[in-house]
A and B are shown apart, each in its own frame.
Chain A
Amino acid sequence: MCLAIPGKIIEIDSHNALQAVVDVVGVRRTVDLGLLQDAPPIPGDWVLIHVGFAMSKISEADAADQMQTLRMLGEAQAAMEEVRGYGLEDDEEHPQPRPGLLQ
Chain B
Amino acid sequence: MKFVDEFRAPELISKAGEEIRRLADPNRHYRIMEVCGGHTHAIYRFGLKDLLPDNVELIHGPGCPVCVLPMGRIDDGLSLADRPDFIFAAFGDMMRVPGTHGSPLEYKARGMDVRIVYSPADALKLARNNPEKHVMFFAIGFETTAPSTALTLVRAKAEGLRNFSVFCNHVTIIPAIRAILDSPDMRLDGFVGPGHVSTVIGCRPYDWIAKDAGKPVVVSGFEPLDILQSVVMLLRQLKNRESKVENQYKRVVPWEGNSAALRAMAETFELRPYFEWRGLGFISQSALKIRSSYAQWDSEQRFTVPGVRVTDPKAAQCGEVLKGVLKPEQCKLFGRECTPEQPVGALMVSSEGSCAAYYNYEHRKPVTIASAMAN
Contact = CB atoms under 8 A, between A and B. Distances in A.
Interface stretch (A20-28, A63-71, A94-102): A63-71
Given A74-B45, A86-B119, A37 B141 contact: no
B9 to A, nearest CB: 11
Interface string B1-31: 0010011100000000000000000000000
A39 to B, nearest CB: 9
Interface residues of B, number: 51
Interface string B116-148: 111111100110010000000000110011011
Interface string B278-296: 0000000000000000000
Of the listed residues B119, B196, B258, the one surrounded by the most CB atoms of chain A closer than 10 A to its CB is: B119
B260 A37 contact: yes
Contacts of B148: 32, 35, 50-53
Nearest to A89: B122
A36 to B, nearest CB: 7
A73 B42 contact: yes
Contact of B141 (A1, A32, A34, A35): A1
B94 to A, nearest CB: 8
A88 B124 CA distance: 11
Contact of A1 (B45, B65, B126, B195): B65
A51 B199 contact: no
Contact of B258 (A56, A72, A86): A56
A34 B262 CA distance: 12
A65 B252 contact: no
Contacts of B37: 2
A2 B352 contact: yes
B140 A1 contact: yes
A48 B196 CA distance: 10
Contacts of B261: 35, 55
Contact of A2 (B118, B196, B223): B196
A86 B258 CA distance: 23
A6 B317 CA distance: 36
A66 to B, nearest CB: 8
Contacts of A38: 259-260
Contacts of B38: 2
B323 interface: no
Contacts of B200: 55
A12 interface: no
Of the listed residues B145, B195, B261, the one surrounded by the most CB atoms of chain A closer than 10 A to its CB is: B261
A75 interface: yes
A73 B6 contact: no
A60 to B, nearest CB: 12
Contacts of B92: 1, 81-82
A4 B249 CA distance: 14
A62 B196 contact: no
B124 to A, nearest CB: 10
Given A58-B252, A74-B45, A51 B264 contact: no
Given A1-B65, A51-B145, A88-B117, 19 more contacts: A1-B93, A1-B140, A2-B141, A34-B264, A35-B151, A50-B148, A51-B119, A51-B120, A51-B141, A52-B119, A53-B151, A55-B258, A69-B42, A72-B46, A73-B222, A82-B118, A83-B118, A85-B116, A85-B122
7 contacts: A32-B151, A36-B260, A52-B120, A52-B122, A53-B119, A56-B252, A56-B254
Query: What 7 A-B pairs come out closest when comparing CB atoms?
Result: A52-B119, A85-B118, A53-B148, A1-B91, A34-B151, A1-B93, A82-B118
